[in-house]
Structure 1
Amino acid sequence: MTTQTVLPVEPNTLQSISAGNGEPAWLTESRVGGLRLAAELELPKLEKTKLERWDLSHFGAFRSGQPARSQELPAQVASLVDLKEDSNLLVQHNSSVVYTRLSADLAAKGVIFTDLETAVREHGDLVKTYLHTAVKPEENRLTALHAALWNGGVFLYVPKNVEVEIPLQSIFLIDDPSASFAPHVLIVAESNSRVTYVDNYISGSYESKIVHNGAAEVFVKAGAKVQFATVHHLNEQTTDLIHRRAVIDNDGSIEWIVGEMNAGDSVSETLSILKGNGSLSDAKVIAVGSGSQKLNYTTKAIHFGKSSDSQMITRAVMREQATAIINGITKIEKGATKANGEQTEKVLMLSPKARGDANPILLIDEDDVTAGHAASVGQVNQEQIYYLMSRGITREQAERLIIYGFLAPVVSDIPLEQLQEQLQGLVERKLGQ
């Protein structure tokens, strides 16, 4: 079955814009192909969330030409970074990357850290090998539209045996809802390399609606280790939709640290494909919902490799009339012997009108494995409140301590101190404390 879709741009126009921007023919073809797919495909089918009822028509204008980089940080970004001689930073402002910085030391080791549009021109064969192979355009209407309309973005390449000690950071800022905002993050960590990547999605103040339709693809080669931390705090006018995927080879590992702190409706999928033997995935996600937000967050691991291991922790706090669907999915394929998958989903509700739904799902096609899950949805534990109050702490302080303790396993793992402090502040603001 196909659906009639009003496209944000016509195929001929998109083709002209892509060619006018100097993009190679293969990328122009990829964009136009994605747009045509979007006209045929349906929206993703989500657990207990009907995306067809959401207003997903505000993608902004896909424009020709990119402004020259100013290499000056926007005011909203400057307070979030601590620039030093060895800093590594990329900033996207609306549709364009306006600032990039990579230390001379890392550049000398062969590390590439630039916007994806530049990488397409300067490292085309490398980008073409990986782009849209983990998040495929043909999956659904959103992935197809993203393949057609992505802009700015990040390309991070770490050569074999290179260990990057200092985190590389990206900041994605939207303050013009008339412009399309669809960064694509592409990371390739070659065998036995190590890297930490951190990004931060922020927005200015505006009254018009916009949809962020983003994607992140991470390729972890044999023995490589990647830590990927991300915080999303876009405003209530912004609908946030993102697919995150990692493909992990033999003895490689991915660690996801995700802070979902948006003020608007949000959908995310964080998926690890454990392709190799001995591959590892550790995913930690926190979310705080308020107002009348509708949230749907899925954390998923698919095991193909023998002795592969996945761990998932998702913790959500809901207040006022916010609703959250929290899905944890562990899929162990036939032949993935000795695989282990563990997951925990917990939802804490601070209001009688808030709603939370935790859905742990195990799909096991192999006998010789171990797997487990735990899920809970409930109010703040009154016994804990009374215990703390018996020690001279007020009820409000006691509730605050319990909530912070509930979220601490993720907040404390953020690899940049400034971002960790920012996330703590966002938690406090969203909880009205």
Structure 2
Amino acid sequence: MSELLFNELPRPTFRWLRVNHTPASLLGESEETKSVLVKGNDAIISELPTGTALINPNYKGANDVALTQLVNSAEGYAVHVPANANEIVGIRIDAGARIASRFQFIVEEGANLEVQFFLDGGLANTTNVQYFNEYDVKANAKVVVKKVNLLDDTIQHIEHRYTKLEDNADVEYINVEIGGKENFLHYEHDLQGQSSKIVHDIAYLGNKEQKFDIAMLMSHGGKKSFSDIHTLGALSDTAKKSFRGTLDFLRGAVASEGAEEDTCLLLDPTVKSISLPLLLCKEDNVVGNHAASAGQIDQNKLFYLMSRGFSEVEAKHIIVESMIRPIIDRIGDEVIEKAALTAVRNKI
């Protein structure tokens, strides 16, 4: 496939800097795909037919061409959680071959769902892992999604994610992004309901020639809706990170509040960090906050640790791990947490 534009800003700006999108091509398209492993209550999991309608037909994903191709050809799983039920679903993606999958979650009123994504593996040749997960979260429902990406450095990793929240819906996303050669992550969250709430935390660590391209859109439509974005990580060698975060307060989102913060630690002068936090607003009575920071390791912290007997390399390891560790500790699975920490320590 020819070059595509990934993660375009919803309102193009900064044209002279050429950062409104990221050009790239899909890798490994001709290869056969491999199934993923989905574990959970069989009564709530069923096959999702190819071409099933999207929860939001206007959602374009990281790239509309790539998403359309995925929806029209990929295997799919539907997860329907009944009202007031409590369920856990585990999804294992082993990149021993090209992956193309789709997941649709319907969480009924008052239900609780935890979803655990674990990605690892790879091939000698470069290929792609691409998947689309949708969440329709009904009134008073709670969803927690925990994802750990430990893919090999031969993998192009593309995730499309869409969330619709009704009244008092509560959603929490936790991303630990360590692996992958190219990572295109596109998250669009639609806070339609009154007092709906979403918190999205992402920790990443890049080295060598890794790329992390992250786009997030929080659309506030309901009264008193709340969103909070945190992305934090570190880059070394010639790694690159792009963050495009948008808070969009629509007409009618009275007394809503949104915040976004992007923090990047630059471990080498050859890395590149791009941060574009945007605020869009059509409503008067709202609160929107955004912040971005990128810099080297605090020399005072480094001196303090070295004065306690640690070498400079060891001190840097401690600082970077202490930055990412709190998010890893929230995964709640000892085996996965240990694997993530091992990957972090190996990369540092």
| TM-score normalized by the length of structure 1 | 0.72
Q: CA contact under 8 A between 2:61 and 2:186: conserved in structure 1?
A: no
Change (3 A) 1:225 1:334: same
Which structure: greater helix fraction?
Answer: 1
Alignment equivalent of 2:101, drawn from 183, 203, 217:
183
Q: CA contact under 8 A between 1:60 and 1:181: conserved in structure 2?
A: no
* Residue-pair matches, total: 339
Q: CA contact under 8 A between 2:110 and 2:141: conserved in structure 1?
A: yes
1:422 correspondence with 2:346: no
Could you tell me which residue of structure 2 aligns to residue 16 of structure 1? none
Superposition pairs for residues 174-253 of structure 1, below 5 Å? 174-176=95-97, 180-204=98-122, 206-253=123-170
Question: Structure 1: how far apart are the matches of 2:60 and 2:214?
Answer: 19
Q: CA contact under 8 A between 2:212 and 2:240: conserved in structure 1?
A: yes
Q: CA contact under 8 A between 2:118 and 2:148: conserved in structure 1?
A: yes
Q: CA contact under 8 A between 1:134 and 1:245: conserved in structure 2?
A: no
Q: CA contact under 8 A between 2:62 and 2:160: conserved in structure 1?
A: no
Could you tell me which residue of structure 2 aligns to residue 59 of structure 1? 29
Alpha-carbon shift at residue 299 of structure 1 (Å): 2.6
Could you tell me which residue of structure 2 aligns to residue 303 of structure 1? 220
Alpha-carbon shift at residue 415 of structure 1 (Å): 2.9
Q: CA contact under 8 A between 1:134 and 1:246: conserved in structure 2?
A: no
Structure 1 residues without counterparts, runs of 5 or longer: 7-40, 63-93, 122-126
Could you tell me which residue of structure 2 aligns to residue 26 of structure 1? none
Could you tell me which residue of structure 2 aligns to residue 398 of structure 1? 315
Change (3 A) 1:251 1:50: closer
Higher mean displacement: 352-361 or 310-319: 352-361
Amino acid across the alignment from 1:184: R
Change (3 A) 1:352 1:383: same
Change (3 A) 1:132 1:418: farther
Could you tell me which residue of structure 2 aligns to residue 161 of structure 1? 84
Could you tell me which residue of structure 1 aligns to residue 93 of structure 2? 172
**1:86-145 deviation digits (Å, cap 9, x = unpaired):** xxxxxxxx5224x5554xxx56xxx5135xxx3449xxxxx9565674745897211111
Question: Structure 2: how far apart are the matches of 1:351 and 1:137?
Answer: 32
Could you tell me which residue of structure 2 aligns to residue 328 of structure 1? 245
Amino acid across the alignment from 2:260: Q
Question: Structure 2: how far apart are the matches of 1:50 and 1:358?
Answer: 12
Could you tell me which residue of structure 1 aligns to residue 8 of structure 2? 46
1:95 correspondence with 2:25: no
Amino acid across the alignment from 1:46: E
Alignment equivalent of 2:64, drawn from 137, 140, 143:
140
SS, match of residue 407 in structure 1 = helix
SS, match of residue 181 in structure 1 = strand
Amino acid across the alignment from 2:318: L
Question: Structure 1: how far apart are the matches of 2:112 and 2:93?
Answer: 24
SS, match of residue 199 in structure 1 = strand
1:312 correspondence with 2:229: yes
Question: Structure 1: how far apart are the matches of 2:285 and 2:302?
Answer: 43
1:354 correspondence with 2:271: yes
SS, match of residue 309 in structure 2 = coil
Alpha-carbon shift at residue 261 of structure 1 (Å): 1.5
Q: CA contact under 8 A between 2:244 and 2:276: conserved in structure 1?
A: yes
Question: Structure 2: how far apart are the matches of 1:96 and 1:423?
Answer: 23
Q: CA contact under 8 A between 1:137 and 1:146: conserved in structure 2?
A: no
Structure 2 residues without counterparts, runs of 5 or longer: 10-18
Amino acid across the alignment from 1:272: H
Q: CA contact under 8 A between 1:360 and 1:375: conserved in structure 2?
A: yes
Q: CA contact under 8 A between 2:277 and 2:290: conserved in structure 1?
A: yes
1:342 correspondence with 2:281: no
**1:276-303 deviation digits (Å, cap 9, x = unpaired):** 0000000000111111123211232110
SS, match of residue 99 in structure 2 = coil
**1:178-207 deviation digits (Å, cap 9, x = unpaired):** xx4211121111000001110112223x23
Larger Rg: 1
Higher mean displacement: 142-151 or 182-191: 142-151
CA RMSD between the two structures:
2.5
Q: CA contact under 8 A between 1:218 and 1:246: conserved in structure 2?
A: yes
Change (3 A) 1:292 1:42: closer
Alpha-carbon shift at residue 251 of structure 1 (Å): 0.2
Question: Structure 2: how far apart are the matches of 1:233 and 1:324?
Answer: 17
Change (3 A) 1:131 1:337: closer
Could you tell me which residue of structure 1 aligns to residue 16 of structure 2? none
Q: CA contact under 8 A between 1:137 and 1:144: conserved in structure 2?
A: no
Question: Structure 2: how far apart are the matches of 1:410 and 1:324?
Answer: 19
Question: Structure 2: how far apart are the matches of 1:250 and 1:141?
Answer: 32
Runs of 4+ residues over 6 Å off in structure 1: none
Q: CA contact under 8 A between 1:290 and 1:322: conserved in structure 2?
A: yes
Amino acid across the alignment from 1:150: A
Change (3 A) 1:374 1:331: same
**1:309-368 deviation digits (Å, cap 9, x = unpaired):** 001110121000111112221111111000000111000011111111222211122110
Amino acid across the alignment from 2:264: V
| TM-score normalized by the length of structure 2 | 0.89
Which structure: greater strand fraction?
Answer: 2
Question: Structure 2: how far apart are the matches of 1:315 and 1:187?
Answer: 27
Could you tell me which residue of structure 1 aligns to residue 179 of structure 2? 262
